[in-house]
């Protein structure tokens, strides 16, 4: 979060994580500091699991609907974001804009319950992504070595 400093003994993983830009919107609700703190707490938890560059959170109270509270979260994480039918230029632009998004939405009779359900869904998505990466045989060490070699090969090609 902007303005937060990590202690000197913080793990290197947390220290190297980029700051997260957060957007919080309220629909049919008055903003309350306690809700902002709860969202912040849940986002920090998710940020400890994976790097997040941006988060968009919508808290909504729909009086006619049952259950009446809805929470919608979209997280932007680093990495390639491509679409199979996208052109080469579109893919390059997507890489510059940001990584793939994780999305979750939940409803509950309380705002806290809907937020917790949404966070749990996003946590499962993060775990599934990590599992897929491990199944492909790309640990963090292998992944960084491959991308480092690719960058050097591209630099050598231009020279």
Q: Which is more confident, 136 or 102? A: 102
Q: Which is more confident, 101 or 140? A: 101
Q: Are β-strands 21-27 and 101-108 bridged in parallel, bridged antiparallel, or unpaired?
A: unpaired
> 125-137: per-residue pLDDT in tens?
999 988 887 887 7
Domain map (residue ranges) of the chain:
12-158
Please determine, looking at this structure, whether the domain spanning 12-158 carries the CATH number 3.30.40.230.
Answer: no
Residue 89 has pLDDT above 80, yes or no: no
- Exposed, middle or buried: residue 122 (CB in 10 Å: 0-12, 13-18, 19+)? buried
> 12-70: per-residue pLDDT in tens?
444 456 688 999 999 999 989 999 999 999 999 999 999 999 999 999 999 998 999 99
DSSP 23: E
Neighbours of 98 (CB within 10 A): 14
> What's the rounded mean pLDDT across residues 155-159?
53
User: What is the Cα–Cα distance from 133 to 127, expressed in whole angstroms?
Assistant: 10
pLDDT of residue 10: 45
User: Can you read off the two tokens belonging to residue 75?
Assistant: 């997280």
> What's the rounded mean pLDDT across residues 141-154?
54
- Find the distance separating the first CA and the last CA of the chain, reported in whole Å: 40
Q: Which is more confident, 150 or 65? A: 65
């Amino acid at each position: 979060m902007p303005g937060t400093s990590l202690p000197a003994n913080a793990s290197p993983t947390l220290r190297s994580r980029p700051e997260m830009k957060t957007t919080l919107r309220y629909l049919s609700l008055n903003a309350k500091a306690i809700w902002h703190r709860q969202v912040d707490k849940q986002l920090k938890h998710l940020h400890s699991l994976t790097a997040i560059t941006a988060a968009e959170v919508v808290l909504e109270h729909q009086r006619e609907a049952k259950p009446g509270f809805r929470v919608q979260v979209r997280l932007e994480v680093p990495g390639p974001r491509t679409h199979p039918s996208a052109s080469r230029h579109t893919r390059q632009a997507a890489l510059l804009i940001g990584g793939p998004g994780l999305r979750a939405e939940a409803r509950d009779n309380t705002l806290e319950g809907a937020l917790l359900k949404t966070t749990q869904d996003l946590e499962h998505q993060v775990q599934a992504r990590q599992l897929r990466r491990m199944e492909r045989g790309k640990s963090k060490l292998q992944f960084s070595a491959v991308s480092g070699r690719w960058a050097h090969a591209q630099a050598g090609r231009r020279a």
